[in-house]
Structures are given as C-alpha cells and as structure tokens.
Amino acid sequence: MPTGNYLVEARSTDAVEPAERADFWSEHIGSYQSRMDYRYARTDDFRGETIRQHTGTYQLVRFRSDGIEYSRTARQIREDPDGDYRLLLPLTGRIVLRQDGQEARLTPGTGTLVSFASPFQCLQAPSTQAFVLTIPARELDGPLNRRSPLATGLDLNRGLGRVVRSMLDGLHAERDELTDAQFDAVSDRVVELLCMLATGDDRPGGTRHLSDVETVVRRHVRENAADPGLTGTSMARSLGWSLRQIQLALQRAGTTPRDLIREERLRLVRERLRCGDCEHLTITDLAHASGFSSASALSTAFRQRFGVSPREMRNGVRGT
C-alpha cells in the first residue's frame, strides 16, 4: 500500500447528475492544476474520469474524457504562477497543443512538453485518454540548458521513447503498491530519459550533456570547496540542475558529489600546508577554513587520501 505523502485518487463525473458534470469537471481539474479556462463541446452530459498519483514532487494523471478545450491566458499566469512542465501523452484520440507560435498535433504514442508559465491552447478530441505528468521546472530547465521545450514532438512508440511509455504504464498499473520514494525514483528516471529525447542525445547516459554538467560542477566545487555548507543539494540549487543530473554526470566520471567535494577540500588543505603564508594556521584553523567540521575529521580524511597526517605533511614540507 502507498506510504508517506504518496496518494492515489480516482474521480468520475458519474458521481454527479448529467447537468452538473461540466462544472464538476472544471472544479475537479482546477483543484490540482493551475488556473485555466474550459470550453466544452457539450455541457449537458460531459463525461470524464481521472486517476491521480502524486507526491510533493511529481504528479501523474491518467484521464479519459469527452471533447474539451483547455486554455491558459497571460492574466491567469500572472494571477496563478506555475513554472512547472507537463508531459502530455495521448493513449487514444487526438490532442492539438498550441503555444509560443508552435503547434503540436498529438496522436497515441506522440508526446509533448508544455509549460504552464506561457499561454497555451489545448484542444482535445472526444473519447481521448492520456497521461499528464507534472515535472518540476528545476528538473528540466538545467538539463535542457533552459531552452524552452514547448511543443516538442516526442516519439514514445519506439526506442528510448517506448521505454518512457512503458515506465508510465508501469507507474499507473502498480499505483496501489508504490511508496512515495518509489514513485519519485521512477519519475526521476522518466525525466532523465525525456531530457535525452528532447536534446537528441539518446546515447547511454546522455554523454554530451553530462560532460558539460561535469565540467561546470567541478569548477563550482573548486571555487566553493571552503564553504562548509557545500553539498550536492546546494550545488543543484545554485547551478539550476537536478541533484540526479549532477549525480549521473559525476558517476560517469567515477565519483560522487560528496567524494568530489572531499577531494577538493583535501587538495585545498594540502596546498595551504605547503604554503609559507599559512604556517601560522593551526590544523584546526585549516580544517575550518577548508570546509571540514573539525581537525579530527580533516586528519582522518587526509591520512586516508595521502598516507600521512596534515601535521606530518607540514613537517615534511619544512624539512625539504
């Protein structure tokens, strides 16, 4: 059964009288999506149903409904800001999405990324079923180099796209068996694969992009190694990438955020031990000035890395 903050909720217009179903649908969708306008092909007996899975990070909705047009205006964006993205993937029927002068005509197996931070018009044919995955902006803006992925046609019928489709199917099928951590973990993987599809880099690991991430991360760590608050999470926040993207880039290079930070701090200590201008600093001073919590933490890590203690290296440098 789901645990933590992971919830599964099902709703259907069958719960209300036919004349009330359009209003019910508008209120229901509006309860978990940002402000939009709704234009119904018919309001006397609109039919629709949703199955919604969500945590505090991701939301996956599988829905079926009659024909409808959704739109989001500039005024609604100002009054109800939402910078996150939605992956829209029809399973049956057709959807036309218009945004930023682009148009995506979606049929089963063809997906698109749409931003709620820009006006759009979404026209849905009758008897359409689809997935809508809400993706936090931070998970896409960095990996896609802040390029707008609007109306990007994504083929989810073959290759890597088919893997994405199967993962969404699996999330939905196993919805009652997942925990919040499991739901978020699979959603993270889906987003990583989407980034590879959107950038055209569908090689394992997204090599081109991950190499760029590694370069920037290494420079950031080198420049901020002395900051005791430097962590993988703080790096992700500062650089605009997700922590998972940073972890993947460093994993490809054979390291982790924590190991890279420790290595840069140890390098900094070694340089200062060899510097005559730092001779007045005690080992405790060096530890605190290089991001370590204590002299003992520094000494342990330093001996593991270089085979001698900081004090022994300082004495050895003086004797040469």
pTM, two decimals, is: 0.64
pLDDT for residue 208 is more than 60: no
Look up residue 133 and give its two tokens. 């995955």
Buried/exposed code over 36-46 (b: 16+ C-beta within 10 A; e: otherwise): bebebeeeeeb
CATH 1.10.10.60 for domain 260-319: yes
The model's confidence at residue 137, banded by pLDDT at 50, 70 and 90, is: confident
**CATH (one of 1.20.1070.10, 2.60.120.10, 3.40.50.720, 3.30.390.50) for 7-199:** 2.60.120.10
Q: What is the pLDDT of residues 258-307, one digit of tens each?
A: 999 999 999 999 988 888 788 888 999 999 989 999 999 999 999 999 99
Where is pLDDT greater, at 108 or 204?
108
What is the model's pLDDT at position 198? Answer: 72
What is the model's pLDDT at position 192? Answer: 82
pLDDT for residue 1 is more than 60: no
Q: What is the pLDDT of residues 225-269, one digit of tens each?
A: 999 999 998 888 877 677 887 888 888 888 999 999 999 999 999
pLDDT for residue 46 is more than 90: yes
What is the model's pLDDT at position 145? Answer: 53
pLDDT for residue 17 is more than 60: yes
What is the model's pLDDT at position 251? Answer: 87
What is the model's pLDDT at position 142? Answer: 63
What is the model's pLDDT at position 314? Answer: 85
Q: How far apart are CA 105 and CA 135, in angstroms?
A: 21
What is the model's pLDDT at position 166? Answer: 92
| Mean pLDDT value of segment 61-75 | 97
What is the model's pLDDT at position 37? Answer: 98
Q: What percent of the chain has pLDDT over 90?
A: 57
pLDDT for residue 92 is more than 50: yes
Domain coordinates of the chain in residue numbers?
7-199, 207-256, 260-319
| Mean pLDDT value of segment 95-120 | 90
pLDDT for residue 28 is more than 90: yes
Residue with tokens 């690991």: 205
What is the model's pLDDT at position 203? Answer: 42
What is the model's pLDDT at position 64? Answer: 97
Look up residue 209 and give its two tokens. 């992009």
Q: How far apart are CA 243 and CA 251, in angstroms?
A: 12
Q: What is the pLDDT of residues 141-200, one digit of tens each?
A: 765 655 444 545 788 888 878 889 999 999 999 999 999 999 999 998 898 888 777 765
Q: What percent of the chain has pLDDT over 70?
A: 90
Say how far residue 192 (Cα) sits from the centre of its chain.
8
What is the model's pLDDT at position 318? Answer: 43
What is the model's pLDDT at position 209? Answer: 60
pLDDT for residue 60 is more than 80: yes
Lowest-confidence segment of 32-41, 79-88, 310-319 by average pLDDT: 310-319
| Mean pLDDT value of segment 5-9 | 95
Report whether 217 contacts 249 (CB < 8 A): yes
Backbone angles phi, psi at 137, to 5 degrees: -55, -35
Report long-range pairs for 255-259 (Cβ below 8 Å, ≥24 apart). Answer: 256/232, 257/217, 257/231, 257/232, 258/231, 258/232
Q: Say which amino acid occupies 182.
A: Q
